[in-house]
Amino acid sequence: MLTRIAAARTSAGFTLMELMVTITIMAILMTVGLPAFRDMLRNYEVRVAAESVSNGLQRARAEAVARNAPVQFALGAGSSWTVDYVTKPVSSDPPIDSRSSTDGSPNVVLSAVASDLATAATTVTFNSLGQVVANADASQTLRRVSLNASASGGTQSLRVEIGAGGNARVCDPSLPNYPVNLRGCTP
């Protein structure tokens, strides 16, 4: 009976040395793991922004077909975008859909280009068949959006490409080109 009480007393808790070793190991793991975690978050923000732009383009195309009217997708500051009629039936109506750049991806930088890949562009217009047509204001038509992490950390770059038929796809420019790899971008 006396040995059971003595055994219970010796195993009831941690020593100060064990606690200090545990805290030191935790600190080392946090120091090593924190940069990788930050990079993972930046890469996730790039993915969220790319999917958001792709979804916005698909929404604009679907709305153009459903409403049988030209609908445009316009990039704004940061990674924000708006989907709206080219000519609104009621001028005071709000946009069909929009996204703020602070919704999930504030550290992402977009660069958008036209079909000649040298001119900056921010707008693409879809007709009632869901095809890309010339913008009403005669501005260059958006064809490609590149997304990168703006802050330190993050290694992923993605691109959203808009095909002539109006389809949008997210691709990875670091992979081999499209016919070889389905996740790769077109040259």
pLDDT in tens, 64-80: 999 999 999 999 887 78
Q: Phi and psi of 57, rounded to 5°?
A: -65, -45
Say what the pLDDT of residue 111 is: 80
Confidence of residue 151 (pLDDT cuts 50, 70, 90): low
What percent of the chain is modeled with pLDDT above 90?
A: 30
Say what the pLDDT of residue 123 is: 92
- Cβ atoms 84, 64 nearer than 8 A: no
Tally of CA atoms within 13 A in the half-sphere of 38 that contains its CB? 11
Check the CA dihedral 73-74-80-82 and report its sign: negative
Confidence of residue 164 (pLDDT cuts 50, 70, 90): confident
Domain ranges of the chain: 35-171
- Cβ atoms 132, 141 nearer than 8 A: yes
Say what the pLDDT of residue 54 is: 93
- In this predicted structure, the answer to whether residue 150 has a pLDDT above a threshold of 80 is no
Please give the structure tokens belonging to residue 56. 């916005």
- In this predicted structure, the answer to whether residue 3 has a pLDDT above a threshold of 70 is no
What is residue 141's DSSP assignment? B
Mean pLDDT of the 20-44 span:
87
Q: What is the pTM of this model?
A: 0.78
Q: Which residues, including other chains, have CB under 8 Å from residue 112's CB and lie 6 or more apart? A: 75, 120, 121, 122, 142, 144, 145, 146
Give tens-digit pLDDT for 91-146.
888 999 988 877 767 777 778 877 666 678 889 999 999 999 999 888 899 999 98
Mean pLDDT of the 87-94 span:
85
Say what the pLDDT of residue 41 is: 83
* Cβ count within 10 A of residue 135: 19
CATH class of 35-171: alpha beta
Say what the pLDDT of residue 14 is: 82
